[in-house]
């Protein structure tokens, strides 16, 4: 069937093959639009509705209703619950036309303009993503975010679309219900939260919860219904004295009880291990003030706190420090006269509108001022947009699961509020570390970070920041990120930059190592192609020839030794021997392999053929190549490698004797090893800077963390550094001992 533009003859809306009242639906749409939207082109919306009905006249929903009722309900949700503008209403009416009918985007653009067509196109592309079973969930996130870069209204319409689908989910098969509910809980609810659409987020969660755990949903709902009258009486009695005092102060207000949504109650029951009867804060009292003065909110808080005893640690001031999604309100918890905890939320009418509509409120206020609604121009939204753009700029370097993890951390995590030394506010996810703070300031600050002062006290890089902390980042131009930082950082921005820097450093080392190898190969007249070299280095226990090149560049393996070993494995008669030794092990040999060469350590006196053993280095003493070492055989975790002098081993020598094995370092032991250094001396200005500069002046040294305390005129500190071996560590010791005022430098054991 050829695609054609809208017919000049309007469909007969008074009749419909399904017997619905199309005229009544149109009247409802127009009346709601005129009532709730400041800018509403009635003629254009009427035409879009007629186009929608005509385009979907042969389509039926799973419920048996004519299909046009779905885009109609989506448009009504846009009007009532995410108040945007008439462009959004038209796009909502037409959002399925291109995907499900013979009309094209070109038809939409010619009839209703490019702006409407662009929003419809974005919504269609998102639908295409979900229909492809081969697209990963991380790519779904990426597609959703991509739609925001052009027009945020695309995702807002998709919220409305998903909300109506969830409201009518009972008509679908059980398998489709579960797929839709999982997707909604994992994808749409977190995005609704991030956009400040509190009511929609709660309803999406509850509707998904109903599908995924119907028994728990029904049980909680039944218990809440049983106690509804009791709760209503309690709220009225609780609110009455507050209302009387607010009235006496001449304030106009609305006060009401708000029961918490079912999924929130369920999560609290699970995390706290309590029954519904044991949860006191099942509802909140919300006070909405009809005022433009934010100070009136603090007056109302004072009144509530005078009448009822407040719980100090439960006070949250989101007015002075709004959430990233723009949410503002005062939250406090007080103890009622009968001992129950009640959450009280206090906000102005303007704050309430923005809390209900989230990001959509910015469009409405712009429209009221006569300007075109757009993403650009709102400072708080621009910060959100910058994060989106940063995601896309570097997304290609991340695996899908890493990208998904980053999105979830940023979308659905509690926030903390921390400050720079100059008092500038930074909002980070809960659990953020100084590394996250440093990269939030600037990528170069993050890359050169060696430590931080939190509230004037030096802390290690994995220190968890708290709301109210003042953070000063300590940097050095000789510092560079370590791979361990990826585990420490929690924000997408920090992890992305760390990975990129590490990848760039690795690429540089690979090129340097390749050049070293090629020079050596030419010198000994060795001709070997990449495939043969790959096979040879695998026999040397490298996973890939690039790892071999990196080892050459870092000095972890000597090029002369490497050349000699590669010549052996590439010599024909020695290759045969190597093949024999790699053949299938007998049972006796297999059981003995647990005591074989582990790649980093070797069990003394064992002649077992090359085999890997599971082992790990003890964190209490942090052994490095060159230390005398001993192993403790553990159940399920292989061998735990300790320094022979470790106090934990000495104290338990007799008890552990049957499980102790003598170890030596393997010739293949390479890489960076964590070592802790204890340093004491005279406290004076500039001492910390001299210590870090001394450590970083030793080639190929990275600082993992610095923690120093001062007592009167003395200081004591612990430095954790990455080293190759004890000789490397001794170089650091010598540098530290050369600092004026340093008294002792020694290995530290936890």
End-to-end CA distance of the chain: 76
Give the separation between CA 301 and CA 580, rounded to whole angstroms: 81
Determine whether 570 is exposed, middle or buried from the number of CB atoms within 10 Å of its CB (0-12, 13-18, 19+). Answer: middle
Instruction: Encode 187-198: b = buried (16+ Cβ within 10 Å), e = exposed.
Output: bbbbbbbbbbbb
CA-closest candidate to residue 91, choices 191, 193, 159: 159
* Residue 665 three-state SS: strand
Q: Is 100 designated active site?
A: yes
Q: Is 350 designated active site?
A: no
CA-closest candidate to residue 473, choices 499, 500, 447: 447
Determine whether 584 is exposed, middle or buried from the number of CB atoms within 10 Å of its CB (0-12, 13-18, 19+). Answer: exposed
Q: Are 460 and 704 in contact (CB under 8 A)?
A: yes
Give the separation between CA 31 and CA 44, rounded to whole angstroms: 14
Look up residue 290 and give its DSSP letter.
-
Give the separation between CA 73 and CA 79, rounded to whole angstroms: 10
Q: Per 3-state DSSP, what percentage of the chain is helix, strand, and coil (rounded to 5)?
A: 55, 15, 30
Q: Among all chains, which residue has been given the structure tokens 């050829």? A: 2
CA-closest candidate to residue 725, choices 663, 671, 676, 666: 671
Give the separation between CA 191 and CA 161, rounded to whole angstroms: 14
Task: Count CA atoms closer than 13 A to 104's CA, side-chain side.
Answer: 8
Long-range contacts made by residues 529-537, C-beta under 8 angstroms, separation at least 24?
A: 532/570, 533/566, 536/566, 536/569, 536/570, 537/566
* Residue 626 three-state SS: coil
Q: Are 478 and 695 in contact (CB under 8 A)?
A: no
Q: Among all chains, which residue has been given the structure tokens 């004890």? A: 726
CA-closest candidate to residue 495, choices 382, 388, 412, 391: 391
Give the separation between CA 177 and CA 236, rounded to whole angstroms: 39
Distances, alpha carbon 707 to alpha carbons 430, 468, 632, in Å? 22, 21, 30
User: 3-state secondary structure string, 143-203?
Assistant: HHHHHHHHCCHHHHHHHHHHHHHHHCHHHCCHHHHHHHHHHHHHHHHHHHHHCCCHHHHHH
Q: In terms of residues, how long is the chain?
A: 750
Give the separation between CA 342 and CA 333, rounded to whole angstroms: 6
* Residue 747 three-state SS: strand
Look up residue 249 and give its DSSP letter.
T
Categorise residue 47: left if φ over 0, alpha if ψ from -120 to 50, beta otherwise: alpha
Q: Starting at the edge strand that comes first in sequence, how are the strands of the sheet with 449-454 ordered?
A: 457-459, 449-454, 471-475
Give the separation between CA 554 and CA 538, rounded to whole angstroms: 19
Give the separation between CA 545 and CA 365, rounded to whole angstroms: 60
Residue among 100, 219, 472, 749 flagged as catalytic: 100
Residue among 65, 99, 462, 725 flagged as catalytic: 99
The set of catalytic residues is 99-100
């Amino acid at each position: 069937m050829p695609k054609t533009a809208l017919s000049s003859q309007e469909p007969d809306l008074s009749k419909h093959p399904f017997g619905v009242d199309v005229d009544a639906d149109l009247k409802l749409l127009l009346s709601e639009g005129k009532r709730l939207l400041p800018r509403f082109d009635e003629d254009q919306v009427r035409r879009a509705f007629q186009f929608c009905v005509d385009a979907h006249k042969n389509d039926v929903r799973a419920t048996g209703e004519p299909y046009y009722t779905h885009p109609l309900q989506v448009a009504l949700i846009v009007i009532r619950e995410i108040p945007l503008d008439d462009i959004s209403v038209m796009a909502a009416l037409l959002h399925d036309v291109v995907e499900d009918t013979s009309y094209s985007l070109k038809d939409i653009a010619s009839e209703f303009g490019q702006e409407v067509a662009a929003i419809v196109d974005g919504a269609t592309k998102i639908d295409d993503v979900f229909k492809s079973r081969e697209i990963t969930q991380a790519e779904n996130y990426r597609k959703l975010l991509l739609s925001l870069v052009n027009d945020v209204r695309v995702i807002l319409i998709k919220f409305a679309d998903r909300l109506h689908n969830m409201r009518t989910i009972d008509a679908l098969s059980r398998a489709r219900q579960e797929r839709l509910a999982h997707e909604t809980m994992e994808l749409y609810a977190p995005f609704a939260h991030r956009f400040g659409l509190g009511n929609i987020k709660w309803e999406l969660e509850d509707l998904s919860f109903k599908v995924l755990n119907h028994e728990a949903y029904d049980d909680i709902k039944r218990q809440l219904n049983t106690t509804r009258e009791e709760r209503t009486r309690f709220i009225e009695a609780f609110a009455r004295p507050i209302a009387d005092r607010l009235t006496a102060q001449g304030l106009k207000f609305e006060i009401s009880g708000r029961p918490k949504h079912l999924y929130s109650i369920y999560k609290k029951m699970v995390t706290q291990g309590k029954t519904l009867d044991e949860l006191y804060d099942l509802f909140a009292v919300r006070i909405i003030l009809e005022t433009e003065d934010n100070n009136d909110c603090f007056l109302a808080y004072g009144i509530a706190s005078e009448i009822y005893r407040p719980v100090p640690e439960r006070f949250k001031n989101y007015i002075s420090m709004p959430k990233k999604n723009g949410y503002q309100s005062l939250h406090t918890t007080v103890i009622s006269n009968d001992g129950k905890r009640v959450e009280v939320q206090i906000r102005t009418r303007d704050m309430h509108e923005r809390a209900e509509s989230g990001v959509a409120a910015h469009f409405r206020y712009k429209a009221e001022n006569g300007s075109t609604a757009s993403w650009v121009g709102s400072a708080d939204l621009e910060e959100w947009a910058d994060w989106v753009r940063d995601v896309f700029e570097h997304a290609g370097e991340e695996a899908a699961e890493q990208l998904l993890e980053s999105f979830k951390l940023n979308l659905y995590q509690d926030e903390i509020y921390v400050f720079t030394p100059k008092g500038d506010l930074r909002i980070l996810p809960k659990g953020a570390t100084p590394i996250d703070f440093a990269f939030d300031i600037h990528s170069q600050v993050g890359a050169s970070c060696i430590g931080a002062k939190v509230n004037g006290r030096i802390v290690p890089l994995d220190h968890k920041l708290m709301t109210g902390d003042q953070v000063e980042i300590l940097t050095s131009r000789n510092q560079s990120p370590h791979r361990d930082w990826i585990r420490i950082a929690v924000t997408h921005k920090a992890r992305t930059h760390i990975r990129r820097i590490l990848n760039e450093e690795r690429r540089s080392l690979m090129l340097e190592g390749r050049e070293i190898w090629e020079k050596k190969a030419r010198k000994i007249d060795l001709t070997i192609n990449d495939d043969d070299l790959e096979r040879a280095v695998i026999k040397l226990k490298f996973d890939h020839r690039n790892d071999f090149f990196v080892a050459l560049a870092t000095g972890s393996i000597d090029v002369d030794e490497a050349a000699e070993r590669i010549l052996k494995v590439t010599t024909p008669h020695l290759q045969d021997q190597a093949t024999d030794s790699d053949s299938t092990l007998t049972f006796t040999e297999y059981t003995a392999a647990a005591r074989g060469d582990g790649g980093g350590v070797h069990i003394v006196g064992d002649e077992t053929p090359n085999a890997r053993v599971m082992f790990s280095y003890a964190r209490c003493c942090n052994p490095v190549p060159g230390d005398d070492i001993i192993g403790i055989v553990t159940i399920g975790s292989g061998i735990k490698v300790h320094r022979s002098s470790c106090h934990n081993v000495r104290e338990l020598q007799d008890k552990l004797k049957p499980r102790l094995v003598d170890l030596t370092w393997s010739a293949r032991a390479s890489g960076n090893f964590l070592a802790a250094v204890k340093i004491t001396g005279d406290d004076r200005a500039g001492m910390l800077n001299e210590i870090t500069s001394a450590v970083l002046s030793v080639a190929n040294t990275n600082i993992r963390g610095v923690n120093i305390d001062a007592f009167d005129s003395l200081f004591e500190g612990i430095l954790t550094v990455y080293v190759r071996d004890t000789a490397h560590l001794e170089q650091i010791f010598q540098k530290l001992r050369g600092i004026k005022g340093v008294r002792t430098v020694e290995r530290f054991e936890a």
